[in-house]
Amino acid sequence: MVEEIVLKAKVLQSALPYIREFYGKTFVIKYGGSAMTDESLRESFAKDVVLLRYVGIRVVIVHGGGPQISQTLERFGVRAHFVGGMRKTDEETMHVVEMVLSGDINKDIVALINRYSGRNIYAVGLSGRDGQLIRAKKLNKEEYFRSLGLEVPEEDIGYVGQVESINVELLQTLMEKGYIPVIAPVGVGDYGEAYNINADLAASHIAMALRAEKLIFLTDTEGVKDKEGKLISTLKKEEALRLISQDVIRGGMLPKVKGALEALQRGVKKVHIIDGRAFHSILLEVFTEEGVGTEIVEY
């Protein structure tokens, strides 16, 4: 029994250098995949986020919700339609997207985190339309798809947006008061119209605007893998570009890595792509030397 207690103390002590290094810094976490749907993983995530805040790390959460949107559309008799991997978002679909993201999912995450928080640390839910948090415009599909090396679809994708600016002052004010912002990736246009924004892209832009210490993507994979399928613990920019050119990094991982490289160029210190299916994956990646996923660095 004493040995077990001593071991726990040593584990806590080993985290001290990281707690000291990251105290007062900002982490932006993109929350999605199984970590959002499995009840035990949801609770683990919420507790980890509260722990980060209690040790002095400022946390901003940006969540997805693609599967839940598709399920709700089906209940309304609307079939989900994707163009080049992007959800075609007409006016009717946009209403559902906003209802699911800004309503059901956002408030559920906020309630879950607040179940484990307290003493002046609380989560607060925001849509990108609140306080002009995420200013957006219609996605330039030619520019976007060509940047990923993909064929540009001819079909219009509707109210799919790209980020123009982030209201940094609003986020800083909330974090200074001890709040944990939980953001639904819905942007607002010049005339108040809503735009559906890819959660990975929204998280990247928020991290860049805040010049975050870390941008963390929770995914349903271990991280970035090489051509032999082996996990890459540390991925440098030059190697990432080579793997992209060789079509090793592709599919859903491609926009994440591209977003990571842009974030590093614009002030984010480090990007992590980790497996959200593993319990306490955030803590293991941040507070241990070994880590559990892929860290992406510029040099």
Joined together, the tokens standing for residue 8 give: 């726990």
What integer pLDDT is reported at residue 195 of this predicted model?
Answer: 96
> What's the pLDDT score for residue 1?
67
Q: In this predicted model, what pLDDT tens digit does every residue of 229-257 receive, in sequence order?
A: 899 999 998 899 889 888 899 877 887 88
Instruction: Say which residues have a Cβ less than 8 Å from residue 263's Cβ, sequence separation at least 6.
Output: 204, 207, 208, 215, 271
* Per-residue model confidence (pLDDT) at position 83: 78
pLDDT of residue 99: 93
Fold topology of 24-297: Carbamate kinase (3.40.1160)
Rounded to the nearest 5°, which phi and psi values hold at 228? -90, 0
Q: What's the mean pLDDT when you consider all of the chain? A: 90
pTM, 2 dp: 0.92
HEC per residue, the chain:
CHHHHHHHHHHHHHCHHHHHHHCCCEEEEEECHHHHCCHHHHHHHHHHHHHHHHCCCEEEEEECCHHHHHHHHHHCCCCCCEECCEECECHHHHHHHHHHHHHHHHHHHHHHHHHHCECCECEEEEECCHHHCEEEEECCHHHHHHHCCCCCCCCCCECEEEEEEECHHHHHHHHHCCCEEEEECEEECCCCCEEECCHHHHHHHHHHHHCCCEEEEEECCCCCECCCCCECCEEEHHHHHHHHHCCCCCCCHHHHHHHHHHHHHCCCCEEEEEECCCCCHHHHHHHCCCCCCEEEECC
Q: Residue type at 116?
A: Y
pLDDT in tens, the chain (299 residues): 667 767 767 777 888 888 999 999 999 999 988 888 888 999 999 999 999 999 999 999 999 888 899 999 988 888 888 876 788 898 889 999 999 999 899 999 999 999 998 778 899 999 999 999 999 999 998 888 887 777 888 888 999 999 999 999 999 999 999 999 999 999 999 999 999 999 999 999 999 999 999 999 998 888 999 999 899 999 998 899 889 888 899 877 887 888 899 899 999 999 999 988 988 989 988 888 767 889 999 88
CA distance 95 to 115: 29
Angle at alpha carbon of residue 32, lines to 27 and 35, rounded to 5°: 95
* pLDDT (0 to 100) of residue 152: 85
Q: Is the Cβ–Cβ distance between 90 and 79 less than 8 Å?
A: no
Question: Domains of the chain: which residue ranges?
Answer: 24-297
How far apart CA 170 and CA 174 sit, in angstroms, is 6
